[in-house]
Amino acid sequence: MCTYATVKTELHGSAKGPGGTGSKWFHITDGTVYFDHPVHAMAEHTLNIDFADPSKGPAARVAVELTAQSARDLVEAIQAALASAPDALKV
Amino acid sequence: MSDSLHAETITIAGHGDDQIEAYISTPLHGETRGGVVVIHHMPGYDRSTKEIARRFAELGYDAICPNLYHREAPGAAPDDAAATARANGGVPDERLIGDVAGAAAHLRSLANSNGKVGVIGYCSGGRQSVLAACNLDLDAAVDCYGAFVVGDPPPDRALKMTNIVDQLPNLRCPLLGLFGNEDAYPSPDQVDELDRILTEHHKPHEFHRYDGAGHAFFSVDRPSYRVEAANDGWERIEAFYGSCLGS
């Protein structure tokens, strides 16, 4: 199925993606999360995340396509990493 | 008839006379023929969609695929363009109709055109194919597993999309529908509903539904590909267009 589900969120951080003669870091402002057909992953549906800066054009994007279980595992890993850090550092 | 063909990227006038990119593939023989507007799937104006356009030329039709994401992402890689279009809420219906109108007009302007033009769309393009056929003078339409022709998208989604039930009474040409019974968008119940509405309005249509196939069963480069459904589907398309687009 084609779920069309799309969730957007503002982000403040950086990502490393194509640029120049190899790859480069760039500031990201937008996250787009959707569960739909992947472009590359060998699964019928994946949890896809685009880390992007639309002001720099469509290519200013780092994309990941994760199986549903991988996405759940990633959420847990992110939560665990955040929980391990002192609150004072998490601003 | 020769299977030799020519394919290239061109610029056509789309909605609002915007100049948009399109991929055109035409048979090299000089016989008159019909044309096909190929509406790409949500993942974009990509290699596999261009292969479909070339296949229609091999079948004897002039085929054109407008890049529906050209405005958001001119010159971008297809996946980047699709991501940008998705983040922006998808393709507005009015713009889609204008772009298909421009593509159809281009096909009818070709020297060997017999004046007949069909449309075919995959995934989100399936709905857009029906939408175009409800608003434009086309001779045949094919809907390959388009979601939300009927049924309501769940709320709170960034993609701006509504069903087009209110437009179905305006369908102007025969419709061929190809659906997978394992699909959820559209679900088998939604395909039943579309069948019922078209029958009530005396709209000529022909639906084929495949067991063991879900969404995107024509996509040869994806795990969703189902060879039996795709092969039968191509035969149905050939017969349908042969009937509707012939001289």
Q: How far is A25 from chain B (nearest CA, A)?
A: 18
Residue among B91, B156, B185 with most chain A CBs within 10 A, to mutate: B185
Checking if the pLDDT of B156 tops 70, the result is no
pLDDT digits (tens, 9 = 90+) for A12-71: 999 998 776 778 899 999 999 999 888 999 988 899 999 999 999 998 999 999 999 999
Q: Could you tell me if the ipTM is greater than 0.90?
A: no
Domain holding B16: CATH number?
3.40.50.1820
Full domain range(s) for residue B114: 5-245
Q: What average pLDDT score do residues B152-165 get?
A: 79
Q: What average pLDDT score do residues B96-112 get?
A: 98
Q: Which residues in chain B (26-65) have CB-CB distances under 8 A to chain A? A: 42-43
Q: How far is A47 from chain B (nearest CA, A)?
A: 13
Please, which residues have CB within 8 angstroms of residue B208's CB and are 6 or more apart in sequence?
B176, B177, B178, B179, B232, B233, B236
Q: How far is B71 from chain A (nearest CA, A)?
A: 11
pLDDT digits (tens, 9 = 90+) for A56-71: 999 899 999 999 999 9
Cβ-contact A71, B91 below 8 angstroms: no
Is the Cβ pair A59, B76 closer than 8 Å? Answer: yes
| Tally of domains in chain B | 1
Q: Which residues of A touch B222 (CB under 8 A)?
A: 37, 44
Domain range annotation of chain A: 6-89
Q: What average pLDDT score do residues B14-30 get?
A: 97
pTM of the model: 0.90
DSSP letters along A38-51, please?
A: -SSSSSSSEEEEEE
Cβ-contact B145, B215 below 8 angstroms: yes
Choose among A3, A32, A42: nearest Cβ to B83: A32
Is the Cβ pair A2, B79 closer than 8 Å? Answer: no
pLDDT for A86 equals: 86
What's the Cα-to-Cα distance from B63 to each of A90, B69, B117, rounded to whole Å?
Answer: 56, 18, 9
Task: Indicate the helix (H) or strand (E) that contains A13.
Answer: strand A6-19
The strand ranges marked E within chain B are 5-13, 19-27, 33-39, 62-66, 113-122, 140-144, 175-180, 205-210
- Say whether residue A36 is in contact with chain B using an 8 A CB cutoff: yes
**Which of A16, A6, A87 lies closest to A52 in space, CA to CA?**
A16
Beta bridge partners of A47: A35, A66
Please, which residues have CB within 8 angstroms of residue B210's CB and are 6 or more apart in sequence?
B178, B179, B180, B181, B217, B226, B228, B229, B232, B233
CA-derived radius of gyration, chain B: 17
